[in-house]
Amino acid sequence: MSHVCPAAASCKNQVGGFAFPEWAYKPESSPGSRQIQLWHFILELLRKEEYHEVIAWQGDYGEFVIKDPDEVARLWGARKCKPQMNYDKLSRALRYYYNKRILHKTKGKRFTYKFNFNKLVLVNYPFIDMGSGRVPQSAPPIPSGGSHFRFPSTPSEVLSPSEDLRSPGLFGGVARRMARGSVSDCSDGTSTHSELEETAGAAGAEERGGPGPDRGFRGLLPPLPPRMTHESLFRMYGGPNLRGPAPRGHPEPPSPFPVSPLPGPGGLLGSALSPGLSMTPAPPLPLSHSLAGSLGASLGPEDQQHPSPFKFKLQPPPLGRKQRDGGASSASSAQSSSSGGLSNSTMATPKIKVEPISDVESEEEVEVTDISEEDELMNHHGNEEDDEDEEGDVFTPTGRPHLLPRHPYPHHALHRYIPGNPQHSNGSVGPPPLLHSDHRHHHPEEDEEEVFKTPATPPLSAPPFPLMSLKSEPGQAPPTPISPGGALCIPLKLRFKRRWSEDQKMEADGEREVAEDKKVRSAELEDREAVRGGGAGAAAAVVVVVEESLGVGLPTQRRSSSELQRATAQLSLENSGC
């Protein structure tokens, strides 16, 4: 309510005639987080060179250092209209992200944190280039507005509505344009905060022409670069802008939006995902087969790139650790965030929340190959270490499965995809096979992990990353394309696996939802269950997406994804516009 939307109608549920899930709007409207979230803000700052004196990317992927804590705090405070903000407070907020796995602290380095992109799922694309090695300059434009709008982390929302989403029509009409609505800050133009906005604003100003459908985000999102390599992982844009290598040396103009590479007809990748990141299309499921079919048919016309607002989605479970309910006992665990001791069993089911959040998340996430590791490997100067290693989880396909225990992760159930999908076995879909190939020799269990990791050696030009995951249900096999049509992309590098059957699962597992634990154990349990579930109940099939398909022959998927993006974009527009 805070924002009134002129186009109320659209604001509500429909955009362009399509109905959007409510959750799509949540982000902005969500009460707690009024508008921008701290991490979005950080990202914003990071992408602007103007602030590089106060905060900047530092070494590895996602790692950034707050050079001037006070200033950052000031900026944040300004943005939130909290003049009393200081680094101590800001850092507390940052610390909360640890549990959410949005961030990690880089140990040993002052004021240095690192985004766990691994765990984040970018819904659209990552624009961020965190410099994996190189300097990260500014990331692409994060649409301010857009960024806010993140998709739901609530699983249920996302998935559950699956049906709704499913309808092909959904996204179809959405307009392509979007806007970045950066605005909306508290001050509305008043004083302080503005710096950021200023910049943003400028851009925005141009765009804004009015609430019309046309405002676009033209610049916003670049379509993906034609090919992303791992290296380029984060940087989304390839284009001319990519600055290469030298990081910080020059002046760095923030890259405006690069605009485009265009999508060629054949190759465009619509929106790509970053390789390493797992991205999930917002509504992954929905598109599933139905989309393919329908969209394919319906959408066809051009492929424009749709810009999409990129957004991150968090993956893991938020764990609700907080239970203060009487327990109090938890205190002990405090420090060691990671593994504390968890007495696991006792609390076996701390609370059973119905929310499938975790589930969803897990499901949502599609895992892809993680780049991060690669990067790390490549780069790993040995520095940072582990912290990320832990993260290694990246793979965790399912998501949150293993929390941070530094231990070896239990192999989660990666099985998901295997479970009963004949297809899988058939390999009709591209991915599976690959998976194996990569693994080569792993034990089954390990395989699973491996699978996710597989990316070890991506083919260089990694082409497009698939946005959408197709899901094949057991009964139906999606017509996945597969055919490599041209020489385009032969290498399949990524494979997404998705398990969607939330519903089913939920039913099947009543418990898994439990997830709320903050600590690992839950994860483990879940994993196990998941595994089991995978085999059994899970009938849910897992979806595997093949990137190839995208690139190659089936534009449909891509498109569908694009549609999504557009839709999202619109949403953001709406929001912002309002």
Partner DNA sequence: TTCGGAATGT
Partner DNA sequence: ACATTCCGAA
Query: Is residue 38 at the binding interface for DNA, with CB under 7 A as the rule?
Result: yes
User: Is residue 74 within a helix (H) or strand (E), and if so which, with residue range?
Assistant: helix 69-80
- How many Å apart are CA 50 and CA 52, to the nearest integer? 6
Applying CB under 7 A, among 28, 60, 355, 509 the residue interacting with DNA is 355
Contact call for residue 33 and DNA (CB under 7 A)? yes
- Read off the DSSP letter of residue 265: T
Q: Which of 95, 250, 381, 443 binds DNA (CB under 7 A)?
A: 95
The count of residues in the chain is 578
Determine, following the binding rule CB under 7 A, whether residue 229 of this chain makes contact with DNA.
no
> Nearest distance from residue 47's CB to DNA, in Å?
17
The correct pick among 12, 67, 82, 248 for binding DNA (CB under 7 A) is 82
**Residue with smaller CB distance to DNA, 193 or 453:** 193
Q: Rounded distance, CA 301 to CA 390, Å? A: 45
The answer to whether residue 7 forms part of the interface with DNA (CB under 7 A) is no
Handedness of CA 390, 391, 394, 399 (dihedral sign): positive
User: Is position 343 an interface residue for DNA (rule: CB under 7 A)?
Assistant: no
> Please, what's the largest Cα pairwise distance for the chain?
63
330 part of the interface to DNA, by CB under 7 A: yes
Which one of 32-40, 193-201, 226-234, 364-372 is the stretch in contact with DNA (CB under 7 A)? 32-40
Site string for DNA, 301-320 (x = CB under 7 A): -----------------x-x
Contact residue for DNA among 3, 12, 67, 105 (CB under 7 A): 105
Per DSSP bridges, beta strands 103-105 and 63-66 are unpaired
Among 1, 331, 377, 487, indicate the residue that binds DNA (CB under 7 A). 331
Work out whether 32 is an interface residue with DNA (CB under 7 A).
Answer: yes
- Token pair of 232, please? 């380029």
Q: Show the beta-strand stretches assigned E in 286-417.
A: 312-314
Among residues 336, 346, 426, 483, which is the contact residue for DNA, using CB under 7 A?
336
Nearest-approach distance from CB 73 to DNA, in angstroms: 9
Q: How far apart are CA 424 and CA 472, in angstroms?
A: 9
Q: Does 250 bind DNA (CB under 7 A)?
A: no
**406 lines the binding site for DNA (CB under 7 A):** no
Does residue number 93 form part of the binding site for DNA (CB under 7 A)?
yes
Contact (Cβ atoms closer than 8 angstroms) between residue 537 and residue 509: yes
Pairing of strands 120-122, 278-279: parallel
Using rule CB under 7 A, residue 96 touches DNA: yes
**30 part of the interface to DNA, by CB under 7 A:** yes
Among 47, 74, 100, 495, binds DNA (CB under 7 A): 100
Q: Please, which of residues 496-515 interact with DNA by CB under 7 A?
A: none
Helix-helix angle 69-80:87-100, to 10 degrees:
80
Q: Judged by CB, which is closer to DNA: 110, or 441?
A: 110
Q: Edge to edge, what strands does the sheet with 120-122 contain? A: 278-279, 120-122, 312-314
In whole angstroms, how close is the CB of 347 to DNA at the nearest point? Answer: 14
Tell me the residue type at 144: S
Q: Is 112 in the site for DNA (CB under 7 A)?
A: yes
In the complex, what is the shortest distance from the CB of residue 568 to DNA, in angstroms, rounded to a whole number?
A: 17
Angstrom distances, CA of residue 5 to CA of 30, 171, 201, 215, 270: 15, 21, 19, 15, 30
Q: How far is the CB of 545 from DNA (least distance, A)?
A: 26
* 152: CB partners within 8 A, 6+ apart: 21, 23, 24, 26, 27, 158, 313
111 is an interface residue for DNA by CB under 7 A: yes
Please, which residues bridge with residue 495 across strands?
546
- Residue 29 CB, nearest approach to DNA (Å): 11
Give the residue with the Cβ less far from DNA, 105 or 532: 105
For residue 310, give the nearest of 143, 154, 178 by alpha carbon. Answer: 143
Q: Does 334 sit near DNA (CB under 7 A)? A: yes
Q: How far apart are CA 284 and CA 542, in angstroms?
A: 12
Using rule CB under 7 A, residue 344 touches DNA = no
Kindly state the tokens that stand for 550. Answer: 């995208």
For residue 381, the minimal CB distance to DNA (Å) is 20
| Burial label, 93 (beta-carbon count in 10 A; 0-12, 13-18, 19+) | middle
- Per the listing, tokens 């993260």 go with 391
Rank residues 306 and 311 by Cβ distance to DNA and give the closer one.
311
The residue within the footprint of DNA, chosen from 337, 344, 379, 383 (CB under 7 A), is: 337
Q: Are 48 and 199 in contact (CB under 8 A)?
A: yes
Of 415, 320, 410, 312, nearest to 358 by C-alpha is: 320
Residues near DNA (CB under 7 A) are 30-34, 37-39, 76-77, 80, 82, 84-86, 88-93, 95-98, 100, 105, 107, 109-112, 153-154, 318, 320-322, 324, 328, 330-331, 333-337, 355, 357
